[in-house]
Amino acid sequence: MKRKRIERCIYYILNRLKIHLRIWIKLKNVVKYILGFFVIKRKFNVRTYRKRRTFPSMTLVLDLDETLIYCTKKKIYDYQKEVDVLINGKYISLYVCKRPYIDLFFSVLYPYYEIIIFTTSIKSYADTVLNIMDVDHYIDKKFYREDCYEMDGKVYIKNLVNIKKEISKMILIDDSNASGFKYPDNFFQIKKWQGEMNDTELLDIIPFFLNLRKVGDIRSICSFKAKSQKDIANLLTTAPAKHINYLNDNLSQSLYPQSLAFQAINYLKIFMNKFRYARKKKQWNELGKKINNKMKSYPYSLSKLKGSSDDDEYKKKREKMLRRKLHY
């Protein structure tokens, strides 16, 4: 009898221990998950998106279809998500996938640009797709087909006036040439995307837009970018005094006059096709050093093109800057 009682007691104690152990393991996993999340967040600085210190003055207007996403009626790729969209009172199932590096593109440029989606699609379709793609928290405003105007009854042209922002600080990214018909100086054409996962276009253009945020007037840059390398070379060598335009770049504090020729040398680091797809900072730094050395090699007298009436002002500015350096 005593033996049976002892066995029962041991069996009861073991069962209770099992229950407590299960509860402890569950609690341990929960605590481990919570603490682990905070440790990883501190160690690797993981964030869902970067916050803005101040609201950006630059505006980035992006197309949706075949620029950021790819949508089909039939499933072509395994990684496409099924979406039910309400169109003309009926639910239609579509298959959508988002472009590679879209999250990185938004997270890097979000602090410096106001991000706007401008699509020729209807509102119900665009909102549903953006919610499923999990990029809606990066987007400040959305514009749809209703905000476009029709041309020849078939083509929808995006009207940037509806955004009610300063056009000199607005850039439109689209895969279609028709979008840049009305605003060619604000247009940046991107490669058309049709679901390929080896695409790196959004990753490649990040350095370009990080440099572009420093410019005062985007239109002068986009029009300059559209020119060929021969035109740029001719502009640098033979720039008549009549066509000298001063570009409004807030960060250019060089001692040289801000003539178009010398500004062109500065902007080559952004627009040279060879370095447009530079992924590493080293490549950009190397190019920057080359351009700076080239600028230093030019005599100061060459910067004064014939017909320039502002030579005395630049002399005074230069003298002031040299005095400050000597004073400090």
Assess contact for 115 and 60: CB atoms under 8 A. yes
Pair (36, 72) in one structural domain? no
Tell me if 217 is assigned to some domain.
no
* Rounded percentage of the chain residues whose pLDDT exceeds 70: 58
Q: How many domains is the chain built from? A: 3
Pair (125, 98) in one structural domain? yes
pLDDT (0 to 100) of residue 193: 92
Q: Tell the burial category of 204 from Cβ atoms under 10 Å away from its Cβ (0-12, 13-18, 19+).
A: middle
Assess whether pLDDT exceeds 50 at residue 303.
Answer: no
pLDDT (0 to 100) of residue 302: 40
Residue 185: pLDDT band by 50, 70, 90 thresholds? confident
Pair (166, 310) in one structural domain? no
Tell me if 66 is assigned to some domain.
yes
DSSP string, 175-223: S-GGGGSS-GGGEEE-----S-TT--HHHHTHHHHHHHTT-S-HHHHHH
Alpha helix ranges (H) inside the chain: 2-44, 102-109, 123-133, 201-204, 206-212, 218-225, 229-237, 260-271, 281-297, 311-327
Pair (4, 92) in one structural domain? no
Pair (34, 178) in one structural domain? no
Separation CA 227–CA 147 (nearest Å): 31
pLDDT (0 to 100) of residue 117: 94
Pair (111, 255) in one structural domain? no
Q: Tell the burial category of 125 from Cβ atoms under 10 Å away from its Cβ (0-12, 13-18, 19+).
A: buried
Pair (151, 177) in one structural domain? yes
Tell me if 150 is assigned to some domain.
yes
> Can you tell me the mean pLDDT for 186-197?
89
Tell me if 218 is assigned to some domain.
no
pLDDT (0 to 100) of residue 30: 62
Q: Which residues are catalytic?
A: 63, 65
Pair (172, 149) in one structural domain? yes
Tell me if 62 is assigned to some domain.
yes
Assess contact for 112 and 56: CB atoms under 8 A. yes
pLDDT (0 to 100) of residue 183: 85
Assess whether pLDDT exceeds 80 at residue 34.
Answer: no
Instruction: Check which CATH number belongs to the domain holding 126 and give it.
Output: 3.40.50.1000
Tell me if 220 is assigned to some domain.
no
Decide which of 189, 212, 235 is a domain's last residue. 212
What letter represents residue 320's amino acid? K
Residue 239: pLDDT band by 50, 70, 90 thresholds? very low
**Lookup: tokens for 21:** 């152990």
Separation CA 179–CA 63 (nearest Å): 9
pLDDT digits (tens, 9 = 90+) for 80-133: 888 888 888 888 899 999 999 898 899 888 888 999 999 988 888 998 888 888
Least confident among 36-45, 60-69, 207-216, 225-234: 36-45
322 is in which domain, residue-wise? 227-327
Residue 116's Cβ-side half-sphere holds a number of Cα atoms within 13 Å equal to 22
Separation CA 256–CA 269 (nearest Å): 18
Pair (68, 183) in one structural domain? yes
Assess contact for 170 and 61: CB atoms under 8 A. yes
Assess whether pLDDT exceeds 90 at residue 282.
Answer: no
Pair (77, 41) in one structural domain? no
Q: Mean pLDDT, the chain, as a whole number?
A: 71
> Can you tell me the mean pLDDT for 162-169?
86
Tell me if 222 is assigned to some domain.
no
Pair (279, 187) in one structural domain? no
pLDDT digits (tens, 9 = 90+) for 196-237: 888 888 988 888 888 888 777 888 777 666 555 555 555 554
Separation CA 100–CA 205 (nearest Å): 13
In three-state secondary structure terms, 172 is strand
Relative to beta strand 141-143, strand 113-118 is parallel
Place of tokens 């916050």: 51
Tell me if 177 is assigned to some domain.
yes
* Rounded percentage of the chain residues whose pLDDT exceeds 90: 12
Decide which of 212, 240, 262 is a domain's last residue. 212
pLDDT (0 to 100) of residue 173: 92
Pair (276, 179) in one structural domain? no
Assess whether pLDDT exceeds 60 at residue 152.
Answer: yes
